[in-house]
């Protein structure tokens, strides 16, 4: 009895789940095909590489996931990543502030940015696309003013362990991603506030009239997005041991693709954290294949663009049924 | 023998193995209003969707004007002269009346590149005059009342030379006066030999407008008969297949508890002016009035969904501050919105998640994790109690019929354990059998000591349920009637009191 209920529960996001299930199958087929075709792919090193490279982007995508889930969009993540990267490096390298304290400062900064985004949307009634676009540009300006556009290098090598260190064969980055994903999975699917994101995304007016503090939920989504973006940003920064004002410039597209690949509905109310992680892995495998096959970077952008549009088309078709 | 406009013969249709229509036949002759009635899920909509090409039949025959037809798409059925006016109107708000009437066919009225509004305005005016509708074709549709918008839909149907017009619950959100106007238009259409298929839950209307009535039940056509041979009881019996008792309310005032809710001089904008009333535990109080009288607005202010300009709200004698619905829920008030689709349900969530939404804190374990077992158990109890037709409590709301969705909304507020329940149009779009269940339930809730406010545009509903009735007009309470002297006439005279 409760077993069948569980199954029904799982199938509640039916169409999305099908896409996810198919993606897992597809991912598996691609992996098998590649490992038989190209011995380079099969190596533990390469597999771990894929996981490691996917992990920070996955964390950022989990942030954007919250905003998409409530039916909004956060364009400012690119600039959040940039400003966190450059300020963190600046604090540590130029000001000699300890890394732990610097971390807390940039985290508070991102919370502040998330609140601004949320307030603009909730009380300013500004469409989230515009509100976050404005914030993106302001942050971009601030980070260039702060750094003059130049990277700040010279972070201690111990910080590099975040991106490159490993426990046995498993990179720290992957462990971090898994921990974040598990926490967020429980948070979204098994807590009251998590349920509220789905409710607000599904029908914000009905949620409000059910006694849910929709304003708080919306602001919280933007704050979570900013926090997760800044955690991802630190991971990416640790790879090069330098703060960089262009670090996140090309990431928004990947993040959107990951969310959609993972079955998050762009109109809000549907999606799962697990899907986002799978989406991130999928995109990384595709990138990896293209690298191994020697596809040039610009062509990779074209391919990723095509992937996104195909998934969105499938999604909008399945909705019509 | 008069030629039939439409003849549907032995139509069969199943969805995923569930039979929705079982050898249903139906016909329509020129110049008649043929009413189609039945409970929700009886198959009326499915039949009409097959006639208009939205669904495809499994077997059977569609004959229009003596010719067998195939309607693979709505376009083809429109070409054959069939128009349907849906309950949810299909108008573009920011276009003018004329632009809406001729939408998609602008090319017929334009030069090569530029649309000629003069021509369509002229044409729209002619059509409106023909059936006696007084609407300026150049006005934006968003500025019209729902009733007028419906008239625009009718004009749209006529502009395509439709011979067959299907109206789905056309009077659902109209006032009595607007209904009269609609009927005048329908009578003119009859004179022009159009055939009208009229779907309605309001049986008393049929006697004013219909020529024949067809009753459907569980996917079958039960009977078709001229209206003269019918009475309301008989139609209801055929619809539900069982007797329905209509009992007048009996209230034992001595059983009422102390005052639950007291509203003093409530003001909000133009729609709520100096509203004062009180309700005791165990009592059912009705709020009657015409559409736009300010009843829903008053309730929304009490519930904290709309802003309060001034006034006091007391619960159990103590003044309370309610700034938002969250405060209201915590003060034990529930508000079932009149607008189910946009304010009541979350279609992307399953039934059990919709039900537990207002009081998620009651469904926690370890004080932060949701106890889904408990949620599902509660939902299943509610499903049984309210007879929600669904395969499981995990079904998404979007897959339920309107009536079942409404029951879920009711279940949601029952689960919130609120003591003061505001039901705004609780049975809108719900079939007769389910209505009675909901009435019984509301009475039971009152018996258990809850205070219940009913806002309804259906006078019979108010009269059947209420111990006292407040009548509103233009944002003010124009009168209070207590059980002995509640009558349709008195309510109506108070409702138009200030409007006239």
Residues 201-220 of A with CB under 8 A from B: 201-203, 205-213
Q: Which CATH code for domain B6-240? A: 3.40.50.300
What are the tens digits of pLDDT across the range A65-119? 999 999 999 999 999 999 999 999 999 999 999 999 999 999 999 999 999 999 9
What are the tens digits of pLDDT across the range B190-237? 998 999 999 987 788 889 999 999 999 888 999 999 999 988 878 877
- Residue pointed to by tokens 């955690």: A231
Considering only CB atoms, B346 lies closest to which of A9, A206, A265, namely A206
Among A297, A296, A262, A265, smallest CA distance to A281 is for: A262
CA distance, residue A213 to nearest chain B CA (Å):
7
Whether the predicted pLDDT of B19 surpasses 60? yes
Judged by a CB distance cut-off of 8 A, whether residue B357 touches chain A is yes
Considering only CB atoms, B392 lies closest to which of A8, A198, A211, namely A8
DSSP 8-class letter at A43:
S
DSSP 8-class letter at A94:
I
Alpha-carbon distance values, B68 to A241, B23, B56, B83 (Å): 77, 17, 15, 18
In this structure, what are the phi and psi dihedrals at residue A94, rounded to the nearest 5 degrees?
-80, -40
Cβ B328–A211 below 8 Å, yes or no? Answer: yes
State how far the Cα of A33 lies from the Cα of A42, in Å rounded to an integer.
10
Whether the predicted pLDDT of A23 surpasses 70? no
Confidence of residue B153 (pLDDT cuts 50, 70, 90): confident
Alpha-carbon distance values, B236 to B219, B230, B350, B402, B462 (Å): 16, 10, 33, 20, 20
One fold for B6-240 and B253-495: yes
Among B166, B170, B209, smallest CA distance to B187 is for: B209
DSSP 8-class letter at B4:
P
Sign of CA dihedral A284, A287, A288, A289: positive
Classified by CATH at the fold level, domain B253-495 comes out as Rossmann fold (3.40.50)
Residues with Cβ within 8 Å of B383's Cβ and at least 6 positions away in sequence, in order, are B351, B390, B393, B411
CB pairs under 8 A between A and B: 96
- Asked if the ipTM is above 0.85, the reply is no
Tokens standing for residue B60: 């059977």
Percent of chain B exceeding pLDDT 70 equals 94
State how far the Cα of B335 lies from the Cα of A271, in Å rounded to an integer.
29
DSSP 8-class letter at B340:
I
Whether the predicted pLDDT of A57 surpasses 90? yes
Q: What is the mean pLDDT of residues A125-139?
A: 96
State how far the Cα of A215 lies from the Cα of A285, in Å rounded to an integer.
38
Cβ B342–A206 below 8 Å, yes or no? Answer: yes
Q: What is the pLDDT of residue B39?
A: 72
Q: What is the mean pLDDT of residues A211-227?
A: 96
Q: What is the pLDDT of residue B252?
A: 73
In this structure, what are the phi and psi dihedrals at residue A216, rounded to the nearest 5 degrees?
-65, -45
Residues with Cβ within 8 Å of B39's Cβ and at least 6 positions away in sequence, in order, are B217, B239, B240, B431, B432, B433, B434
List, in sequence order, the alpha helices (H) in B241-313.
295-302
Enumerate the residues of chain A whose CB falls inside 8 A of the CB of residue B304: none
Cβ A209–B376 below 8 Å, yes or no? Answer: no
Whether the predicted pLDDT of B243 surpasses 60? no
Domain ranges within chain B, ordered by starting residue: 6-240, 253-495
Cβ A5–B394 below 8 Å, yes or no? Answer: yes
Helix H or strand E encompassing B479 = strand B476-482
Q: Where does residue B12 rank: exposed (0-12), middle (13-18), buried (19+ CB within 10 A)?
A: middle
State how far the Cα of A229 lies from the Cα of A99, in Å rounded to an integer.
18
Mutate to test the interface with B, among A210, A214, A318 (most CBs of B within 10 A): A210
More confident position, A296 or B254: A296
Tokens standing for residue A165: 């260190």
CB-CB neighbours of A225 under 10 Å: 32
Q: Which stretch of A200-209, A214-223, B285-294 has the lowest confidence by average pLDDT?
A: B285-294
Whether the predicted pLDDT of B305 surpasses 90? yes
Enumerate the residues of chain A whose CB falls inside 8 A of the CB of residue B416: 211
Among A257, A59, A92, smallest CA distance to A172 is for: A59
Nearest CA in chain A to B374: A2
Q: What is the pLDDT of residue A12?
A: 41
Are the C-beta atoms of A173 and A181 separated by less than 8 Å? Answer: no
What are the tens digits of pLDDT across the range B388-401? 888 889 988 888 87
Cβ A195–B392 below 8 Å, yes or no? Answer: no
């Amino acid at each position: 009895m409760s077993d069948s209920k569980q199954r029904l529960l799982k199938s509640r996001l039916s169409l999305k789940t099908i896409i996810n299930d198919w993606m897992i199958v597809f991912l598996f087929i691609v992996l098998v095909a590649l490992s038989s075709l190209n011995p380079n792919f099969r190596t533990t090193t390469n597999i771990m590489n894929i996981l490691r490279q996917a992990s920070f982007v996955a964390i950022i995508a989990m942030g954007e996931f919250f905003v998409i889930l409530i039916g909004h969009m956060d364009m400012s993540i690119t600039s959040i990543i940039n400003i966190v990267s450059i300020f963190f490096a600046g604090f540590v390298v130029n000001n000699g502030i300890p890394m732990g304290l610097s971390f807390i400062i940039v985290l508070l900064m991102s919370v502040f940015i998330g609140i601004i985004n949320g307030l603009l949307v909730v009380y300013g009634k500004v469409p989230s696309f515009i509100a976050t676009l404005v914030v993106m540009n302001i942050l971009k300006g601030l980070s260039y003013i702060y750094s003059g556009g130049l990277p700040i290098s010279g972070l201690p090598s111990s910080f590099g362990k975040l991106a490159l260190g490993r426990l046995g064969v498993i990179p720290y980055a992957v462990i971090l991603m898994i921990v974040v994903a598990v926490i967020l999975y429980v948070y979204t699917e098994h807590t009251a506030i998590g349920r509220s994101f789905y409710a607000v995304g599904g029908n914000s007016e009905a949620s409000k009239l059910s006694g849910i503090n929709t304003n708080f939920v919306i602001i919280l989504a933007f704050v979570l997005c900013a926090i997760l973006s800044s955690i991802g940003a630190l991971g990416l920064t640790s790879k090069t041991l330098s703060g960089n004002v262009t670090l996140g410039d090309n990431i928004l597209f990947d993040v959107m693709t990951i969310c959609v690949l993972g079955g998050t509905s762009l109109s809000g109310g549907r999606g799962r954290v697990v899907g986002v992680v799978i989406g991130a892995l999928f995109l990384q495998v595709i990138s990896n294949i293209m690298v191994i096959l020697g596809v040039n970077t610009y062509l990779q952008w074209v391919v990723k663009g095509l992937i996104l549009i195909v998934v969105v088309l499938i999604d909008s078709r399945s909705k019509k049924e | 023998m008069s030629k039939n406009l439409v003849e549907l013969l032995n139509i069969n249709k199943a969805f995923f193995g569930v039979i929705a229509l079982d050898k249903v036949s139906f016909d329509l002759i020129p110049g008649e209003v043929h009413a189609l009635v039945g409970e929700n899920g009886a198959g009326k909509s499915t039949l009409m969707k097959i006639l208009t090409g939205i669904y495809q039949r499994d077997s059977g025959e569609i004959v229009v004007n003596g010719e067998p037809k195939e309607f693979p798409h709505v376009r083809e059925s429109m070409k054959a002269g069939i128009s349907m006016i849906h309950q949810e109107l299909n108008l573009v708000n920011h276009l003018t009346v004329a632009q809406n009437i001729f939408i998609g066919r602008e090319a017929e009225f334009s030069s090569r590149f530029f649309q000629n509004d003069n021509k369509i305005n002229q044409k729209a005016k002619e059509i409106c005059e023909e059936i006696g509708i007084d609407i300026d074709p150049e006005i934006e549709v968003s500025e019209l009342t729902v009733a007028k918008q419906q008239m625009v839909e009718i004009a749209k149907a006529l502009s395509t030379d439709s011979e067959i017009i299907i109206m789905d619950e056309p009077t659902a959100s109209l006032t009595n006066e607007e209904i009269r106007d609609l009927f005048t238009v329908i009578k003119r259409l009859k004179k022009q030999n159009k055939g009208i298929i009229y779907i309605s839950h309001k049986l008393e209307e049929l006697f004013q407008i219909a020529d024949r009535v067809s009753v459907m039940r569980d996917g079958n056509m039960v009977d078709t008969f001229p209206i003269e041979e019918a009475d309301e009881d008989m139609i209801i019996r055929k619809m539900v297949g069982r007797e329905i008792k209509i009992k007048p309310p009996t209230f034992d005032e001595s059983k009422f508890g102390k005052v639950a809710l007291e509203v003093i001089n409530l003001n909000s904008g133009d729609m709520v002016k100096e509203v004062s009333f009180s309700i005791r535990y165990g009592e059912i109080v009705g709020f009657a009035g015409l559409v736009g009288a300010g009843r829903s607005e008053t309730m929304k202010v009490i519930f904290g969904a709309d802003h309060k300009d001034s006034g006091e709200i007391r619960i159990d004698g103590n003044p309370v501050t309610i700034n938002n619905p969250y405060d209201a829920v915590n003060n034990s008030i529930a508000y079932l919105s009149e607008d189910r689709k946009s304010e009541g349900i979350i279609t992307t969530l399953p039934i059990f998640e919709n039900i537990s939404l207002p009081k998620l804190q009651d469904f926690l374990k370890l004080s932060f994790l949701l106890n889904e077992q408990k949620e599902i158990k509660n939902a299943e109890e509610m499903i049984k109690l309210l007879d929600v037709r669904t395969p499981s409590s995990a079904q998404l709301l979007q897959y339920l019929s309107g009536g079942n969705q409404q029951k879920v909304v009711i279940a949601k507020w029952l689960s919130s354990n609120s003591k003061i329940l505001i039901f705004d149009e609780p049975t809108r779009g719900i079939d007769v059998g389910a209505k009675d269940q909901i009435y019984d339930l509301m009475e039971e809730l009152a018996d258990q000591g809850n205070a219940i406010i009913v806002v309804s545009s259906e006078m019979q509903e108010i009269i059947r349920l209420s111990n006292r009735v407040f009548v509103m007009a233009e944002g003010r309470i124009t009168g209070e009637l207590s059980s002995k002297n509640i009558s349709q006439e008195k309510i109506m005279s108070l409702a138009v009191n200030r409007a006239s």
